[in-house]
Amino acid sequence: MDNLNTIKPTIILVFGATGDLAKRKLFPAFYNLYLDGRMPEKFEIIALGRAKNSDAIYRSHVSDNLTEFSRNKIASKKEFEQFASHITYLQNDIDKEESYLLMKQKLDAIDSSFGERANRLFYLSIAPSFIETISNNIKKLNLAANPDQDRIIIEKPFGYDKNSAELLNKLLSKTFDEEQIYRIDHYLGKETVQNILAFRFGNSMFEPLWNRNFIDSVQITVAEEVGVEDRGGFYEGAGALRDMIQNHLMQILTMVAMEAPTSLQADEIRNRKADVLKAIRRIKPEEVKHYTVRGQYEKALVKGKTISGYLQEKGVDENSNTETFVAMKFYLDNWRWQGVPFYVRTGKRMQEKQSSIVIQFKPVPHSTFSFGKEGMMPNRLIINIQPAMDIRLQFMTKKPGLSLSLKPAEMVFDYFSCSTQSPEAYETLVLDALQGDPTLFMRSDQVEEAWDVVTTIQEAWENDQSLSLHKYEAGGWGPEAANELLARQGHSWASNTLNEEVEKIEEQKQKEALDGTYI
């Protein structure tokens, strides 16, 4: 296997190695990096779990999971066996000090076999409640004593509110320096999210327009077709605000709204993103109802199949007030974005899986052209993150023919036309952590600012029962109140392709004609 990098010898320790994240994302990421020659020349993966397993049994378990979840399947048995030879299973009880003593012995033995002290990457794929115990034991035995060589990756959720996030940051700072802590948000590893920086700051045609003078509004949507499935117990303590808005959507918003960095150094980019979070206007308790909509999906017939409502899901309280949908409007109080509404929405059991960013430009000051009753369609730049991965520019052109009338057109850059084997988000982020590049990981101040943005909303929803929880049918686009949130300013949720947008306009025309309101 040709190695394409010069990463120092590394030991990766995976806490929760028998869990869902490890089988679906982490080991496929390790395997694909190995196939691409991106893993260190010398590396070992120590898989830690409560269950009793031999190396052979666990490696077989990894093989089955790669067959199901990896973008690169096992094409060569010999190649997989070479990869698997780097994997060791170690039975581990998080609460017992002797487990960490065994871990230390294993680390020392690997260092001895490498002929040098290896880098150590601790990956905590476990519930947040275990972080304190693990961190304290790592400190007690000096397992991560070298800031230049040792790192820890923490999965979300990072706390459940601002106070818990601050406490967790203080706890980790007792064992690790800030530069050792990698708070992961897998959305920042996605190709199209990363490309926002290149698209904005690498092209002179867009950055001069990227401000309040030319942009009318911004929409960010992260919609999921699935429900909570077997995560009802977890979701009851989270909800869409904590699970999605505070991290994924906030991080996408910072990429869209940040100022141009003076360099691509990690701290410079993270400083600019932190500036955005600080600039987000905090919503006052009495304004929560005006700026936010929350919903909960209920039973519906979708594609001929009856889909259960949230209250019927396993592990969910029958009287639950937990939201599965959130739509919000934010403003940024800074020079670039003053007065531009940022609309964000996320939900489960939506019509389709879709993550997208819609930049809507202001209309021309005066136009002699028209396109139907509502005037010309606005110019839009749409960045589709998943499952589609493309960038679309929508604009008006002359309709072929003798009359001077317009029609909408769309230019598309499709990632899949360039590469059908784009790296998964976890591959990008794991490689960055191995290389010691924290650019795409969250810093402590970013996490705390993001929690601060939603604090009053959390408190209002928990304490004020008069704030409605709107029901919406599974398989739709959320409650009608989410449409009204935008309609107050003459906006509507945009489709992520031109064809869908035109179809939506035509359907509205037909509806208005039947109602006798369209002339």
CATH of the domain at 302: 3.30.360.10
Structure tokens at 341: 């509404």
Annotated binding site for NADP(+): 16-23, 50, 93-94, 156
Annotated binding site: 16-23, 50, 93-94, 156, 186, 190, 224, 243, 348, 353
Q: Which of 61, 248, 470, 491 is catalytic?
A: 248
The answer as to whether 515 is a domain residue is no
Are residue 256 and residue 337 in the same domain, yes or no?
yes
Are residue 293 and residue 383 in the same domain, yes or no?
yes
Q: Tell me whether the omega of the peptide bond preceding residue 157 falls within 30 degrees of 0, making it cis.
A: yes
> What integer pLDDT is reported at residue 518 of this predicted model?
42
Residue 141 sits in a domain of what CATH number?
A: 3.40.50.720
CA angle 393, 399, 405 (to 5 degrees): 105
Structural domain count, the chain: 2
What letter would DSSP give residue 117?
P
Are residue 281 and residue 379 in the same domain, yes or no?
yes
State how beta strands 43-49 and 10-15 pair: parallel
Are residue 136 and residue 281 in the same domain, yes or no?
no
Q: Residue type for 272, please?
A: R
The answer as to whether 503 is a domain residue is no
The answer as to whether 177 is a domain residue is no
Q: Residue type for 307, please?
A: I
Which phi and psi angles does 197 have, rounded to 5°? Answer: -65, -50
Are residue 30 and residue 134 in the same domain, yes or no?
yes
Range of the domain at 102: 10-155
Mean pLDDT of successive 10-residue stretches along the chain, which has 519 residues: 72 94 94 94 95 93 94 88 96 92 96 96 90 93 94 88 92 94 86 83 90 97 90 84 92 94 90 96 94 94 88 89 95 97 96 94 76 69 90 88 82 79 86 93 94 94 80 94 95 87 72 58
Residue 55 contacts residue 93 (beta carbons within 8 Å): no
Q: Residue type for 429, please?
A: L
- Give residues with Cβ within 8 angstroms of 111, minimum separation 6: 11, 117, 118
The answer as to whether 171 is a domain residue is no
> What integer pLDDT is reported at residue 186 of this predicted model?
83
The answer as to whether 43 is a domain residue is yes
The CA distance from 494 to 274, in Å, is 28
405 torsion bin: left (phi>0), alpha (psi -120 to 50), beta (else):
beta
Are residue 120 and residue 252 in the same domain, yes or no?
no
Are residue 264 and residue 147 in the same domain, yes or no?
no
Are residue 246 and residue 327 in the same domain, yes or no?
yes
248 is catalytic: yes
Output the pTM of the full model. 0.90
Residue 38 contacts residue 145 (beta carbons within 8 Å): no
Closest C-alpha to 149, from 435, 432, 426, 427: 435
H/E run at residue 192: helix 191-201
Structure tokens at 31: 């395997």
For 97, how many CA atoms within 13 A lie in the half-sphere containing its CB? Answer: 6
Annotated binding site for substrate: 186, 190, 224, 243, 348, 353
> What integer pLDDT is reported at residue 368 of this predicted model?
66
The CA distance from 437 to 188, in Å, is 13
CA angle 64, 70, 75 (to 5 degrees): 75
Are residue 133 and residue 222 in the same domain, yes or no?
no
The CA distance from 376 to 367, in Å, is 9
For 86, how many CA atoms within 13 A lie in the half-sphere containing its CB? Answer: 21
The answer as to whether 511 is a domain residue is no
Are residue 224 and residue 347 in the same domain, yes or no?
yes
The CA distance from 286 to 293, in Å, is 14
Which residues does residue 408 pair with via DSSP β-bridges, in sequence order? 396
Which residues does residue 391 pair with via DSSP β-bridges, in sequence order? 383, 413
What letter would DSSP give residue 175?
T
> What integer pLDDT is reported at residue 498 of this predicted model?
83
Are residue 138 and residue 222 in the same domain, yes or no?
no
The answer as to whether 183 is a domain residue is no
> What integer pLDDT is reported at residue 372 of this predicted model?
52
The answer as to whether 164 is a domain residue is no
168-171 long-range Cβ contacts below 8 angstroms, 24+ apart = 168/128, 168/131, 169/444, 169/447, 169/448, 171/131, 171/132, 171/135
Structure tokens at 265: 């150094």
Are residue 151 and residue 199 in the same domain, yes or no?
no
Residue 240 contacts residue 348 (beta carbons within 8 Å): yes
Structure tokens at 169: 């940051």
Structure tokens at 116: 């040098």
